[in-house]
Structure 1
């Protein structure tokens, strides 16, 4: 019996150690503010990638021929906007950020800042009619990395509830996980189809947009509990 209690205590200590933050914990507000700034710059850079037609004598035709740039701009803007929204969804439930979370978030921002280039590459490929498959695979691969990082950040924060707010219940945490997990697989499927037929692959990626703009189950109630708790603390 004494041995069983000792083993149980040791396992409990190991569990607490495994779920403890890495380095000092910090208020995530500055992290979110910095992330908002990087995302805002990324979406602004998107429009700068659209170059006006050089032939102003046939300007209307030149503007019409830029349709791939318009499409790439719209898709990428909505996808980055979607990342911004879901980034806030995550950090509405994260009470503090340790050094590992800061690193993972930095990697995510690095990928987001790279998206204007991937978008420009996709637009130029469709405009020229050459390299469309390669451009779509490159574009999709960039989003796959971003989607994986979203999942890694959230699962790291919720593991052992190490960084979550006390108002975030387990059902809400699982609901967010269920929403995030299909994203990498969805984009991989679209990218794979794009390798066979670029337009079909792009349509699959576009279908990703409305689904991930939908609210997450339990999201509103959990945020309301967090606000009520913060009012009670003050």
Structure 2
């Protein structure tokens, strides 16, 4: 039978794939390791975008005036960290990687590596008081692209259980999809509001942070079921 019921809770698990991968399948561990390295470099570069004040005679005032850089650094660090966490959530359930998945992941990393520049642009605009709308739109558009690619990776792997591992049931896959899908709409709304009022748009983007750091309830339930079935599992 293609569909089976889990004995402990009635959740469904598809035991066969209905879609074929594109190209050879590979172990995703190296892809995850490479992704971790790129993300680590991106968050490190964020602090290098904060330039110390040139006027050391009035150093305290100069440091205070850099507050937009501190805010942009904190927001972007947390957002990239959030993507790192959810990237691991995805690949905890992806059992193999094909050519298209690797390409989509490479494009996602390319966008993440670009975020320090977008963050620096936003900070400089708020420090100078000029070009804030443009900088916010640019910043939001960069995150919008990242959110779209994030969803594309997961939905491609999930479709027809193309690349999911056998331990991931359909309820868990749907729970992850429900968490990821609002992101492009949320970021787009913040970007659109930023075109009218940069501070309001930025607040909407900031509200994105706690929501996506929160655990995914369906995935948590799935992990609990797995632990109940295998008491020795981590």
Taking structure 2 as the reference length, the TM-score comes to 0.88
Partner of 1:199: 199
Asked whether the equivalents of residues 193 and 201 of structure 1 are also in contact (C-alpha less than 8 Å), the reply is: yes
Task: Establish whether residue 140 from structure 1 lines up as the match of residue 140 from structure 2.
Answer: yes
Task: Quote the Cα distance in structure 2 between the aligned partners of 1:203 and 1:158.
Answer: 32
> Structure 1: which 5+ runs fail to align?
1-15
1:217 Cα shift?
1.7
CA distance in 2, matches of 1:17, 1:191: 38
Compare CA radii of gyration and give the structure with the larger one: 1
| CA deviation map 1:136-175 (0-9, x unaligned) | 0000000000000010000000000010011111111001
The one-character-per-residue Cα deviations of 1:42-92 (angstroms, maximum 9, x if unpaired) are: 000000000000000000000000000000000000000000000000000
Between the aligned partners of 2:37 and 2:219, the Cα distance in structure 1 is 24
Q: Report SS of the residue matched to 1:220.
A: helix
Q: 1:180 offset after TM fit, Å?
A: 0.4
Asked whether the equivalents of residues 49 and 116 of structure 1 are also in contact (C-alpha less than 8 Å), the reply is yes
Q: 2:10 — aligned with what?
A: none
- 2:171 corresponds in structure 1 to 171
1:223 CA drift (Å): 4.5
Aligned to 2:114: 114
Number of aligned residue pairs: 216
Gaps of 5+ in 2: 1-15
**Partner Cα separation in structure 2 for residue 81 and residue 29 of structure 1:** 19
Aligned counterparts of 2:92 and 2:17: Cα–Cα separation in 1: 25
Bigger proportion of residues as helix: 1
Alignment correspondent of 2:100: 100
- Structure 1 residue 109: Cα displacement: 0.2
2:18–2:162 contact (8 Å) kept in structure 1 = no
- Contact kept, 8 Å, 1:92 with 1:223, in 2: the verdict is no
| 3-state SS in 2 of match to 1:92 | helix
Q: In structure 2, what is the Cα distance between the partners aligned to 1:101 and 1:223? A: 25
Aligned to 1:39: 39
Q: Tell me whether 81-90 or 164-173 shows the greater mean CA deviation.
A: 164-173
Matched, 1:158 2:158: yes
- Per the TM alignment, residue 18 of structure 1 is displaced from its structure 2 partner at its CA by 6.9
